Amino acid sequence: MTNEEGADAVSAPSRVPGLTRREVWLRRQRRRGILIASVSTAVVLTVAVVGITSASGWPRVKQLFFNGERFKKDFPEILGYLWVDIKLFLQCIPFILIWGMTIALCRNARTPVLFPLRAFAAAYTDIFRGIPVVLTIYLIGFGVPALGLWEGEIRFLGLGGDVRSVYLWGPVALILSYSAYVAEVFRSGIEGVHESQRAGARSLGLSQRQTLHHVVLPQAARRVVPPLMNDFLSLQKDVALLSFLGIIDVFRRAQSIKDLRGNYTPYVVAAIIFLCLTVPLTRFVDWYTARHRRRTGGTVVA
């Protein structure tokens, strides 16, 4: 058998009619699966809607939570406070990244003389990951200003005021809490870089600092982008917790309208606003994570 005949024999199965029929069968199976999933979803939703709306208390719940007239009146006003949440979110991100990376580097310090920094970083992550975010917000947001250690004015991203303002210490509380989580993400990325990369850098004459800067951190940064995006997605929602300090944002304004009108529809409005903000971000994070996994051919650092 010549080489050309052998090549024809290998490629022949791809032109067999039965293979085409298999492709058609696979398409039909996919369509059948989509149809079954759609029908089952529709059935579940129908049963849920019928079950809820047929309950004896549904008219009262509908009036209190899903009042169409209140929804149309309250939505524009509550939406106007969304920019406050976005400002607070943007205020926190850079400081979380910087402080989180600093804690991660301290945690990964290998020089014996830097052991106190390693101990501090370990204690920091244990404390702020162990305390619920809402408790940290209360302790920092109310406790630090009560000390009265500072006086003066501060202007930051248009959210200015007294240095004891909750618009300052509320974000600081979020920064302290989320930096602990981000530090662990960075640390896992740094430790995920294989030791052979460090050895190769040292064999080229790079110092420990140069190895960290030019070899380890660039690789670690690429690995931790997806989990960082998930952390920041959670941060976008947790910004609403700052309303407990008195910051007027979407949630706080919805609560004020509820107290004034005696109707819970503003809470539903606030929930829908947050969903419109977070769901597209969630889908983007999922898409980027899948893309990152396909490009790297491995798992993403959790």
Contact 106/118 with Cβ under 8 angstroms?
yes
Question: pLDDT digit string (tens) for 228-247?
Answer: 888 888 898 899 999 888 88
Give pLDDT, residue 156.
Answer: 46
Which whole-number Å values give the CA distances from 226 to 221, 278, 290, 299, in the listed order? 10, 16, 9, 11
Other C-beta atoms lying within 10 Å of the C-beta of residue 105: 18
Which of these, 217, 263, 202, 240, lies nearest to 62 by C-alpha position?
A: 263
Give pLDDT, residue 57.
Answer: 87
Which whole-number Å values give the CA distances from 290 to 227, 278, 283, 299, in the listed order? 12, 18, 11, 10
Strands 161-162 and 153-154: antiparallel
Q: How far apart are CA 174 and CA 247, in angstroms?
A: 14
Query: Which pair of tokens denotes residue 250?
Result: 């979407």
Q: How far apart are CA 105 and CA 115, in angstroms?
A: 12
Query: Which pair of tokens denotes residue 203?
Result: 């064999």
Question: pLDDT digit string (tens) for 123-167?
Answer: 999 999 999 999 999 999 888 887 776 665 555 444 445 667 788
Give pLDDT, residue 298.
Answer: 54
Question: pLDDT digit string (tens) for 263-284?
Answer: 899 999 999 999 988 888 888 8
Contact 207/128 with Cβ under 8 angstroms?
no
Q: How far apart are CA 273 and CA 254, in angstroms?
A: 11
Query: If residue 269 lies in a helix (H) or strand (E), which one and from where to where?
Result: helix 265-296
Q: How far apart are CA 92 and CA 181, in angstroms?
A: 14
Query: If residue 167 lies in a helix (H) or strand (E), which one and from where to where?
Result: helix 166-191
Domain ranges of the chain: 1-50, 72-296
Residue listed under structure tokens 């162990």: 130
Give pLDDT, residue 161.
Answer: 53
Give pLDDT, residue 296.
Answer: 65
DSSP classification of residue 154 = E
- Quick check: helix, strand or coil at residue 162? strand
Give pLDDT, residue 18.
Answer: 54
List, run by run, the mean pLDDT of 10-residue segments along the chain (302 residues). Answer: 46 49 80 90 90 87 88 91 90 93 86 86 93 93 78 50 76 94 88 74 72 74 81 89 88 91 91 89 82 65 46
pTM (2 decimals)? 0.75
Give pLDDT, residue 127.
Answer: 94
Superfamily of 72-296 according to CATH: MetI-like (1.10.3720.10)
Give pLDDT, residue 14.
Answer: 44
Beta bridge partners of 154: 161
